[in-house]
A = this chain, B = another copy of it.
Amino acid sequence: MYVILVYDIGERRVVKMLKLCREYLNWIQNSVFEGEITEVKLKELISRAKKFMKKEEDSLIIFKSREERWLEKEIIGQEKNDLDIFI
């Protein structure tokens, strides 16, 4: 399954979330990740994220598509990739 993941999270938890998501998906922009992932691995990611997320403040949205080809991506401006940042 192909997913797009976006988070909006308190500053203190950003690095933790970034590191977690990078274990599973490809970073494409600020707080946006995408990639192929299994249902099991996605559940694991979500359960690990929930452990440090603050329910009242933070959010994590996941768009799931059975097929990547059902989505077309258009990028305007800078395209980030994992080489841009070293955490």
Contact = CB atoms under 8 A, between A and B. Distances in A.
Copies in the complex: 2
Contacts of A23: none
A65 B71 contact: yes
Interface size range on A against B? 35 or more
A11 interface: no
B64 A76 contact: no
B62 A73 contact: yes
A67 to B, nearest CB: 8
A55 B32 CA distance: 19
Of all A-B residue pairs in the complex, the 7 with the closest CB atoms, nearest first, are A8-B30, A59-B77, A60-B76, A59-B78, A64-B72, A62-B74, A70-B70
